[in-house]
Amino acid sequence: MNEPSRKRTTSTDVAADRRKQILRAAVEVFAERGFHRTRVSDIAKHAGVAYGLIYHYFDSKDDVLHCVFEDNWAVFMKAIEGLRDDPDLGAADKLKAISALFIDALEVAPATIQVIIQEVARSDRFVQTEKINAFNAAFAVIRTIVEAGQDRGELRPTIDAEVAAYAFFGALETICTGLMLNAVPLRDHRHAERVKETVNQIMLTGLCASTKGP
Amino acid sequence: MNEPSRKRTTSTDVAADRRKQILRAAVEVFAERGFHRTRVSDIAKHAGVAYGLIYHYFDSKDDVLHCVFEDNWAVFMKAIEGLRDDPDLGAADKLKAISALFIDALEVAPATIQVIIQEVARSDRFVQTEKINAFNAAFAVIRTIVEAGQDRGELRPTIDAEVAAYAFFGALETICTGLMLNAVPLRDHRHAERVKETVNQIMLTGLCASTKGP
Amino acid sequence: MNEPSRKRTTSTDVAADRRKQILRAAVEVFAERGFHRTRVSDIAKHAGVAYGLIYHYFDSKDDVLHCVFEDNWAVFMKAIEGLRDDPDLGAADKLKAISALFIDALEVAPATIQVIIQEVARSDRFVQTEKINAFNAAFAVIRTIVEAGQDRGELRPTIDAEVAAYAFFGALETICTGLMLNAVPLRDHRHAERVKETVNQIMLTGLCASTKGP
Amino acid sequence: MNEPSRKRTTSTDVAADRRKQILRAAVEVFAERGFHRTRVSDIAKHAGVAYGLIYHYFDSKDDVLHCVFEDNWAVFMKAIEGLRDDPDLGAADKLKAISALFIDALEVAPATIQVIIQEVARSDRFVQTEKINAFNAAFAVIRTIVEAGQDRGELRPTIDAEVAAYAFFGALETICTGLMLNAVPLRDHRHAERVKETVNQIMLTGLCASTKGP
DNA sequence: AATGAATGAGAGTTCATTCAT
DNA sequence: GATGAATGAACTCTCATTCAT
């Protein structure tokens, strides 16, 4: 797939603002109607700009989605790569931080998260065409964290790190989706905290009440 | 959304066979190209029938997908409802059985699983239009199992059962997707067993190596 | 450039007829409005068929033009190749026959000739894209006839055969265009004959009244 | 069609220069890509100006082409009208001079000639819209020269002068086009001279080797 | 039951032109 | 004069669906 366009990268602040304005509008309509039911004119109308202006800033409707993803995902990737490389944190703490990152994002920008999960991560658009899931980089980071944790004796050595990465990520992702499908994504900040707590408990210490071992 | 069609329900065995033939072809092409990149004529070509015939057996292209889902999902739902109601199994065993159901299905019919996850569960088609996730019934069953397990002291009481259901389901789902994206979905039966084992370990006893409690 | 489509080559006579019907309509509207001012819907309307049907029989609007050209030009090429290979005719007679072919065609099917000359032969569409003028094959045949005539002492040896081919062809072509621009392309059959006679006189014996040589 | 614009006729020399600069660039890109595949921004880019500026100097994209034509064609028309009115030249010499004019122009400014022939003379843009071929003035001049030559006994009286004008002009035109389609338009000056010689021989004394008369 | 020609609404994209700066 | 962001009409092509045979 082509690189998302970097057309006229901030030749002026005005251009950058317009770009952002369109991107913001796009996220909102994509979240509301879904990518493939959204017409380019919907984005334009929502952004309050003319039809053709979209094509000043983006190559195509697909490119708009691409850019929504790249702009936001890059931030997330940078954050989790930072965690991965942090020598002062244990594996469990790193995973907790990742959960927090996700859930916090869901609180702050639910539409963006929804679009990224629904229309990019899960869309056949990405999954199929590229053969390389756009999320693979994130999976790889989590896997690395898990493996490092196993090496240092912090995480159970019997677990397949790749599968663990999928499980961890999928759990987070589906929680986000599930929560979003309810009218009010996250009732309040305390709800968000409780969700984080639950994820961490499940992933790190399991559902079972019984103590480990024999 | 309309009910999936039950047009001409098995007026003859021949008709039922044709229907199955088309459905099988549809699963294959949906898995390969994704629902929205698949044309009705692609399904027809793959099934070796004229594309007008598809409209004898189904109301629309959407209806074909719907039927793929319903036909297969119904089996799965019946199975997990049976587990839920089984008085002889503990919550952990029920969840293990659900994992097994999923991973086994992935081994036997990967294309079907892929279509159900990608094009139905995750598609804005279902998620958005209906406001009611097609998977909600499954979530509800898992939630019930978790809650029962908590009541009986088998599962940790501090966990939010709804979030747990999302986490459990999402983990399974993403593992399936992740494994499918690799050329060979499941290398062999032993691989499948190892995946199940990992899921169960993570979900039931957690990633952490440290023993629980003092 | 892609080969003009041979979609569904006469699977039934009905299909062949429909194809011809569209092609006939296309020639008429192309002749009237010019290719690039003609919308696909104009062709459809003129042919009395639905918009989309054009795309059953042709790949694109360009393909329609391509097919107009190929279908008709092939006939002409066959004819002049036959002349080229005829051992019983002198070069002058061959050239006369070619003139007659052109002018007769102009009488019988002026719109077709117009479209071929204006929209294909002269269009940047062909001239530029292909770097190989669609008419090159015809030029080559005429050139061969001229060279053979020179070898046999029938035509002046001092003339550059390539340039002669261009001149001969261009003269014919422009006469056709010029005549067509007048309301009534060819006033009557006698007019046509007079045009042929003039072309032949000019090309074969020149404009000058003076006798050749010293 | 509207008159080509004379916007801001040389209010300053700078303006005139800008105009020429744009026109020169336009000729080059029209020759390379063809008029209808050339975007206004292509002209601007090639001229090194902002594309809005083109609308300071010209009314529209069509107007640019129009001006390319007018500016150059006017020179040619003036020349052949001078020839027509020259009492000291015979008809044959006048026609030879016209050939020379064309071929020389092709040597000096091939792109300009190409644009004039392809995009103006032959374009449905002019041919159709105006019903009056932009070249009609030139045809008329040549026709007048031929008729005068016939009256003075220099040219064959049996020839239709109108048709002769088309033939002469078309021959020249197609030779130009044909030569241009080869990588190197005119190999060298000697080639140009040979081409002129051939045209003159063909048009004035014919292709046939046999002497005229009984 | 089966076919595939026929339909036409719908959507993405292009690009000449305008205009505020 | 000069710029290029902004506009939106125009147009091609796709494809789900219908229907005569």
Q: Domain limits of chain B?
A: 8-58, 68-205
Closest-CA residue to C90 (of C30, C150, C44): C150
Instruction: Work out if D49's Cβ lies within 7 angstroms of strand F.
Output: yes
The pLDDT score that the predictor gives to residue C186 is 65
* A40/E11 CA-to-C1' distance in Å: 8
Partner C contacted by D128 (CB < 8 A): yes
Question: Are B175 and A163 an interchain contact pair (Cβ–Cβ within 8 Å)?
Answer: yes
Q: Compute φ and ψ for D155, nearest 5 degrees.
A: -115, 155
The pLDDT score that the predictor gives to residue B212 is 45
Alpha helices in chain D (DSSP H): 13-33, 40-47, 54-57, 61-85, 91-108, 110-115, 124-127, 136-151, 161-181, 189-200
- Decide if A203 contacts A145 (C-beta within 8 A): no
Contacts of A184 in chain B (CB under 8 A): none
3-class state of residue B155 by DSSP: strand
* B123/F14 CA-to-C1' distance in Å: 22
Q: Where is A181: in which H helix or E strand?
A: helix A161-181
Contacts of C59 (CB under 8 A, 6+ apart): C2, C5, C7
The pLDDT score that the predictor gives to residue A119 is 84
Instruction: Work out if A7's Cβ lies within 7 angstroms of strand F.
Output: no
User: Of how many residues is chain C composed?
Assistant: 214
Q: Compute φ and ψ for D126, nearest 5 degrees.
A: -90, -45
Partner C contacted by D203 (CB < 8 A): yes
Query: What percentage of residues in chain D have a pLDDT greater than 70?
Result: 84
Nucleotide nearest to C50 (CA to C1'): E7
Quote the distance between the C-alpha of residue B91 and its chain's center.
20
Q: Could you read off the pLDDT of C148-162 as tens digits, one per residue?
A: 999 999 999 999 999
- Closest Cα in chain B, distance from residue A161 (Å): 9
Q: Could you read off the pLDDT of A43-91 as tens digits, one per residue?
A: 999 999 999 999 999 999 999 999 999 999 999 999 999 999 999 999 9
Residue B99 has pLDDT above 80, yes or no: yes
- First-residue to last-residue Cα distance in chain A: 52
Considering chain A, what is the average pLDDT of its residues?
A: 86
On strand F, nucleotides with any atom < 7 Å from a protein CB are: 1-9, 11-20
Mean pLDDT of B190-210: 88
Instruction: Work out if D15's Cβ lies within 7 angstroms of strand F.
Output: yes
Partner A contacted by B15 (CB < 8 A): no
Contacts of C172 in chain D (CB under 8 A): 167, 170
- Decide if D170 contacts C114 (C-beta within 8 A): no
Distances (CA, A) of C25 to B109, C28, D20: 52, 5, 43
Considering chain D, what is the average pLDDT of its residues?
A: 86
For residues D191 and C181, what is the distance between their CA atoms, to the nearest angstrom?
Answer: 34
Residue D6 has pLDDT above 90, yes or no: no
Alpha helices in chain C (DSSP H): 13-33, 40-47, 54-57, 61-84, 91-108, 110-115, 124-129, 136-151, 161-181, 189-200
For residues C79 and C85, what is the distance between their CA atoms, to the nearest angstrom?
Answer: 10
Partner A contacted by B71 (CB < 8 A): no
Mean pLDDT of A21-29: 96
The pLDDT score that the predictor gives to residue D117 is 85
Decide which of D146 and B117 is more confident: D146
For residues C112 and C102, what is the distance between their CA atoms, to the nearest angstrom?
Answer: 12
- Closest Cα in chain A, distance from residue B50 (Å): 26
For residues D207 and A25, what is the distance between their CA atoms, to the nearest angstrom?
Answer: 72
Does domain B68-205 bear CATH number 1.10.357.10? Answer: yes
Partner B contacted by A152 (CB < 8 A): no
Residue A34 has pLDDT above 60, yes or no: yes
For residues B56 and D26, what is the distance between their CA atoms, to the nearest angstrom?
Answer: 59
Instruction: Work out if C189's Cβ lies within 7 angstroms of strand F.
Output: no
What's the pLDDT band for D125 if we cut at 50, 70, 90?
Answer: low
Residue D3 has pLDDT above 80, yes or no: no
Closest-CA residue to B120 (of B60, B64, B59, B43): B64
- Decide if A35 contacts A117 (C-beta within 8 A): no
- Decide if C43 contacts C58 (C-beta within 8 A): no
What's the pLDDT band for C182 if we cut at 50, 70, 90?
Answer: low
The pLDDT score that the predictor gives to residue D209 is 80
Beta bridge partners of C155: D208
Question: Are B178 and A198 an interchain contact pair (Cβ–Cβ within 8 Å)?
Answer: no
Residue C123 has pLDDT above 50, yes or no: yes
A interface mutation test: which of B27, B173, B202, B203 has the most A CBs within 10 A? B202
Other residues' Cβ atoms within 10 Å of the Cβ of residue D212: 16
Q: Could you read off the pLDDT of B151-193 as tens digits, one per residue?
A: 999 999 999 999 999 999 999 988 888 877 765 556 678 888 9
Distances (CA, A) of A105 to A145, A188, B128, B208, C198: 21, 13, 21, 25, 85
The pLDDT score that the predictor gives to residue C117 is 86
For residues A198 and B163, what is the distance between their CA atoms, to the nearest angstrom?
Answer: 7
Contacts of A205 (CB under 8 A, 6+ apart): B156, B205, B206, B208, B212
Give, to the nearest 10 degrees, the angle between helix B91-108 and helix B136-151.
Answer: 150
For residues A101 and A81, what is the distance between their CA atoms, to the nearest angstrom?
Answer: 12
The pLDDT score that the predictor gives to residue D213 is 42
Write down which chains contact chain B via at least 3 CB pairs under 8 A.
A
User: Between C127, C146, C181, which is nearest D118 by CB?
Assistant: C127
Mean pLDDT of C9-17: 66
Q: Could you read off the pLDDT of A93-147 as tens digits, one per residue?
A: 999 999 999 999 988 999 999 899 888 877 766 655 555 566 788 899 999 999 9
Instruction: Work out if D16's Cβ lies within 7 angstroms of strand F.
Output: no
Q: Could you tell me the fold of the domain covering D11-58? A: Arc Repressor Mutant, subunit A (1.10.10)
Three-state SS string over B174-211 comes to: HHHHHHHHCCCCCCCHHHHHHHHHHHHHHHHHCCECCC
The pLDDT score that the predictor gives to residue D1 is 46
Three-state SS string over A36-74 comes to: HHCCHHHHHHHHCCCHHHHHHHCCCHHHHHHHHHHHHHH
Closest-CA residue to B16 (of B55, B73, B61, B57): B57
Residue A196 has pLDDT above 80, yes or no: yes
Contacts of D108 (CB under 8 A, 6+ apart): none
User: Of how many residues is chain D composed?
Assistant: 214
The pLDDT score that the predictor gives to residue D179 is 80
Residue C143 has pLDDT above 80, yes or no: yes
* C41/E9 CA-to-C1' distance in Å: 14
Closest-CA residue to B5 (of B15, B140, B42): B15
The pLDDT score that the predictor gives to residue C50 is 96
Domain D11-58 and domain D68-205 have a common topology:
no
- Decide if C170 contacts D170 (C-beta within 8 A): yes
Residue A209 has pLDDT above 80, yes or no: no
For residues D7 and C67, what is the distance between their CA atoms, to the nearest angstrom?
Answer: 44
Residue C55 has pLDDT above 80, yes or no: yes
Looking at residue D120, what DSSP letter applies?
A: I
- Decide if C179 contacts C185 (C-beta within 8 A): yes
Write down which chains contact chain D via at least 3 CB pairs under 8 A.
C
Partner D contacted by C170 (CB < 8 A): yes
Beta bridge partners of B155: A208
User: Of how many residues is chain A composed?
Assistant: 214
3-class state of residue C2 by DSSP: coil
With CA atoms as reference, the chain B residue closest to A198 would be B159
Closest-CA residue to D157 (of C206, C194, C209): C209
* B52/F19 CA-to-C1' distance in Å: 10
Nucleotide nearest to A64 (CA to C1'): E12
- Decide if D20 contacts D105 (C-beta within 8 A): no
Partner D contacted by C64 (CB < 8 A): no
Nearest 5 degrees, angle CA B128-CA B130-CA B134?
95
Residue A182 has pLDDT above 80, yes or no: no
What's the pLDDT band for D103 if we cut at 50, 70, 90?
Answer: very high
Decide which of B208 and C58 is more confident: C58
What's the pLDDT band for D20 if we cut at 50, 70, 90?
Answer: very high
For residues C97 and C145, what is the distance between their CA atoms, to the nearest angstrom?
Answer: 12
For residues B32 and D51, what is the distance between their CA atoms, to the nearest angstrom?
Answer: 46
The pLDDT score that the predictor gives to residue D13 is 76
Nearest 5 degrees, angle CA A115-CA A120-CA A122?
100
Q: A89-93, A150-154, B109-113: which has the minimum mean pLDDT?
A: B109-113
Looking at residue C208, what DSSP letter applies?
A: B
Decide which of B41 and A127 is more confident: B41
Mean pLDDT of D161-177: 92
Contacts of C151 (CB under 8 A, 6+ apart): none
Q: Compute φ and ψ for C126, nearest 5 degrees.
A: -90, -45
CATH (residue range A66-205): 1.10.357.10
Instruction: Work out if B20's Cβ lies within 7 angstroms of strand E.
Output: no
Mean pLDDT of B17-30: 95
Query: What percentage of residues in chain B have a pLDDT greater than 70?
Result: 83
Question: Are C211 and D211 an interchain contact pair (Cβ–Cβ within 8 Å)?
Answer: yes
pTM of the model: 0.88
Per the listing, tokens 């010029």 go with C178
For residues B82 and B140, what is the distance between their CA atoms, to the nearest angstrom?
Answer: 14
Q: Quick one: CATH architecture of B8-58?
A: Orthogonal Bundle (1.10)
Partner B contacted by A34 (CB < 8 A): yes
Instruction: Work out if C53's Cβ lies within 7 angstroms of strand F.
Output: no
